[in-house]
Structure 1
Amino acid sequence: MSAEVQVRPPARSNRKISWDLIRAGCVVMVMVFHATFEGPQLHPELVPGRIHFDHQVGASLLLLISAYFVCVTIGRGTALRYAWGRIARLLPAYFAAVAITFLVTRYLSPPGWFRPSWHDFAANELMLWNWFPKYPFIDGSYWTTPLQLMGFIMAALLYRSGKLGHGRPLRVVLWALVLIPILQWPYRISGPPELYRALVDGFGFHRLHMFVAGVAIWMWSTKRMSHWHFGLLISTCLLAHALHTAIIGPDGSVHIVWGSWFGIAAGFAIIAIASRFRDWDHLVPKPTWRAIRWFAGISYGVYLMHQAIGYIVMRQLGVWHFGPTVQLAGMLVTGTLLGWALTKAVERPMQTRLMKWYDAVADRWTAARRTPEPEKTPEPPGEPSEQTGQQPEENRQPA
């Protein structure tokens, strides 16, 4: 044998800077929207500054991106493993974020601000707000987590079904998911019974079009959907979003929030371009890649941790006579640092442990199913059979 050591070149990563930039940009839009618009709306002492972004765009586009990457990754293993992997990533970080935000807002909020009770803490851990509006959000950003979980589980069930998750049946499902909320919209705004509202909001019917758009973009980018079909479906999704943003006046008139609608439409176009065409590595300066990828990697933690605690930081900076620009920077920095800590301390290690546990259990279960039973030795009639259930050592499958 030759003693020469062959060094293999490292495999090239398929990770695209375009997707990291889009994800990071969406989270920054969420933070700026909360700091410059929602913050002063909720707490008038947070004086608006020169930067003013009042369009709810980033969080909705994050749902679309989640749906897109479901399609990209769900075929890499079993549907059950995929669903467990999403749960392992989302829930531990969410539970920890709720606990941390609860303690900070309960004991450090300024006088006159909302201080959550222990009942509010339990309701937020259980994600009860859409079902029961009497329970307030400890942090307004939390509304996306249950929708993402339901989307991941639905995708796993569709994929596992073998029929509804592919081909023409999948197209029928997509059209149903976007058309049903549109058709029920007049009834939704007419003051329906509370049970109806709880079911519709609890299952996130008002956001289904974002998941449909994500799947449609993936199908179009992989040439599983024609241009005309894609254009028609995406246009219907945009109609659904226009209805979602609609404000009903006292006289019954309908007013569409066109600013947010145009932001969503632009997001659809940008994400579609990123999905179908070459990476933006020739457009994004290479020295910025590391920072963009780092921020995109902690984006879920940043999303969970920035808003309620960020408002407290902004308020304190105002007490110290810092202006709105410094207050905005304070929220951005605080959210980034807390998001990084949550990712490092909870999200990644817990996901790794839960996936190892799942793989160990799945391996043992698979090995038990594949273990051949010992051959039975024919015995004379009338004599009892003895089965020990033991398998020869050389025939056992490794767990």
Structure 2
Amino acid sequence: MTGRRNAWMDLLRVACLVMVVLYHSTFIGPLAYPQFVARQFVFGHQIGASLLLVLSAHLAASSLADPARATVRWWFSRIARLLPGFVVGTLAATLALDWLAPPGMYRASVGDLVANLAMLWNWNGYHHWDYVDGSYWTLPLQLAAFTLAPWLRRTRLGHGRGLRVLLWSAVLVPLAQWPLAQSAGGVYDSVVDGFGLYRWHLFVAGVAAFMFTIGRLRRGHGLALLASCVAAHVVQNGWWSPTAGLVTDPWSVIGVGLGIAALLLAVRLPELGLEPPRPVAQLARRLAGISFGVYLVHQTLGYVLMLRLQEWFGAGPGTQTMAMLLQAVLLGAAMTRWVERPAHRALMRAFDTHGDRPRPALVADGRPPLPAGPPEGARAELVGARGGH
């Protein structure tokens, strides 16, 4: 395995972030707050956040390729990367809504703030709590995946036939219960949404893509599993209408499918000696390095900024979207530099000083793993990401 940074993966991550900002600034924002002026351009397809989950799973799979890495320290490092920024972002969004937002915007109660900090949006017997920032729906899913991944890697389900059965089950079981989820409601709806069954196929796609590119899934098997993940997105991205049947957004499905293909291509291009121009690669690397910070601060703070620009200066929709993108980059860089990275360093120092010392993982039969790397001809890359997006 090589530690060389893959510029194509950085570009893919940046493209996903741009789609997230466009989706929220042109579609979700005006949907949530009708006081926004009408948009001439609307990007109404949830592609970016879905692909960020795929990339997150791909990164986790690549870093756990060696089972010796499946330690408590690996898990704690991911938690230490995600949670401090999330807490600060939640508090910042709450303060912005209370102190800076124009009339008509949502104000979070103390109960909403507590529920948001505890990530209890989908665990109250209904579909959602009120989100202080709607983008945060991905975080409990990533935390759950990062918690399960190292444990599974050290069991029989973490390799070989057990892993293949697990991946297929993670796609097919949520599909099997989908009809019930459309009508049950209440507590059942909370369990389905709380465990994120509607997005498990995206994590499977990331893991399957990694296994496919390093030769641990045969071509036919790998392509069939990835195709099943895209097919699952057709269903899980939609809902059932008594009159129209399955209603889904085909462009979101196409976008996710093309994104998975782009991921496979991004892994392959450096091996062919193809690299983006150096200035493009450097810019993509910097933006990818602050991607988690950008994700945390772009939506709610961006809505406040856009509405104030509209109210005070008569800014049009194009100017509002550019302002939202610019503030996301600036505040995301600040979040990364002054919250995410120093908090991660401090927490890891505390863990290494006071926590359990990492011990070598054991494979399923109790023997320590061999020191050898991936099999002959294997390919892997380290995705340049902060956090899990």
- Determine the C-alpha separation between the residues in 1 that align with 2:97 and 2:328: 15
Change (3 A) 1:365 1:254: closer
What amino acid maps onto 1:151 in structure 2? A
Q: Describe the superposition over 1:331-385 as per-residue Cα deviations: whole angstroms up to 9, x where unpaired.
A: 001111111111111100011111111122347698xxxxxxxxxxxxxxxxxxx
Match of 1:54 in 2: 44
Query: 8 Å contact 2:8–2:275 — kept in the other structure?
Result: no
Match of 2:4 in 1: 14
Moved over 6 A (4+): 363-366
Give 5+ residue unaligned stretches, structure 2: 360-389
TM-score (structure 1 length as normaliser): 0.85
Report the 3-state secondary structure (helix = DSSP H, G, I; strand = E; otherwise coil) of the residue aligned with 2:270. coil
- Determine the C-alpha separation between the residues in 1 that align with 2:177 and 2:188: 11
2:319 alignment partner, one of 297, 314, 326: 326
**Per-residue deviation, 1:251:** 2.3
Match of 1:378 in 2: none
Report the 3-state secondary structure (helix = DSSP H, G, I; strand = E; otherwise coil) of the residue aligned with 1:278. helix
Residue 335 of structure 1 pairs with residue 334 of structure 2: no
Percent of aligned positions with the same letter in both sequences?
Answer: 41
Change (3 A) 1:141 1:281: farther
Query: 8 Å contact 2:122–2:128 — kept in the other structure?
Result: no
Query: 8 Å contact 1:27–1:303 — kept in the other structure?
Result: yes
2:130 alignment partner, one of 118, 130, 136: 136
**Per-residue deviation, 1:108:** 1.7
What amino acid maps onto 1:67 in structure 2? A
What amino acid maps onto 1:139 in structure 2? D
Q: How does 1:25-44 map to 2 (within 5 A)?
A: 25-44=15-34
Residue 148 of structure 1 pairs with residue 142 of structure 2: yes
**Per-residue deviation, 1:289:** 2.2
What amino acid maps onto 2:62 in structure 1? V
Match of 2:61 in 1: 71
1:357 alignment partner, one of 325, 350, 357: 350
- Determine the C-alpha separation between the residues in 1 that align with 2:37 and 2:92: 26
TM-score (structure 2 length as normaliser): 0.87
Query: 8 Å contact 2:101–2:308 — kept in the other structure?
Result: no
Residue 183 of structure 1 pairs with residue 173 of structure 2: no
- Determine the C-alpha separation between the residues in 2 that align with 1:321 and 1:277: 45
Query: 8 Å contact 1:88–1:354 — kept in the other structure?
Result: yes
Between the two proteins, the alignment pairs up a number of residues equal to 353
- Determine the C-alpha separation between the residues in 2 that align with 1:78 and 1:363: 14
What amino acid maps onto 1:156 in structure 2? P
**Per-residue deviation, 1:49:** 3.3
- Determine the C-alpha separation between the residues in 2 that align with 1:329 and 1:193: 39
Residue 300 of structure 1 pairs with residue 292 of structure 2: yes
- Determine the C-alpha separation between the residues in 1 that align with 2:169 and 2:48: 25
Q: How does 1:181-260 map to 2 (within 5 A)?
A: 181-189=174-182, 191-251=183-243, 253-260=245-252
- Determine the C-alpha separation between the residues in 2 that align with 1:365 and 1:219: 26
1:313 alignment partner, one of 305, 311, 324: 305
**Per-residue deviation, 1:278:** 2.3
- Determine the C-alpha separation between the residues in 1 that align with 2:34 and 2:205: 36
The alignment's C-alpha RMSD in Å is 1.8
Match of 2:158 in 1: 165
2:79 alignment partner, one of 71, 87, 93: 87
Give 5+ residue unaligned stretches, structure 1: 1-11, 367-399
**Per-residue deviation, 1:45:** 2.2
Q: Describe the superposition over 1:292-321 as per-residue Cα deviations: whole angstroms up to 9, x where unpaired.
A: 111100110110101011011111111211
Query: 8 Å contact 1:130–1:201 — kept in the other structure?
Result: yes
**Per-residue deviation, 1:26:** 0.6
- Determine the C-alpha separation between the residues in 1 that align with 2:331 and 2:69: 32
Query: 8 Å contact 1:71–1:215 — kept in the other structure?
Result: yes
Q: Describe the superposition over 1:54-88 as per-residue Cα deviations: whole angstroms up to 9, x where unpaired.
A: 11000010001011111111236342111111000
Q: Which has the larger radius of gyration?
A: 1
Q: Describe the superposition over 1:110-162 as per-residue Cα deviations: whole angstroms up to 9, x where unpaired.
A: 1121111111111100000011246200110000011000011110110122x
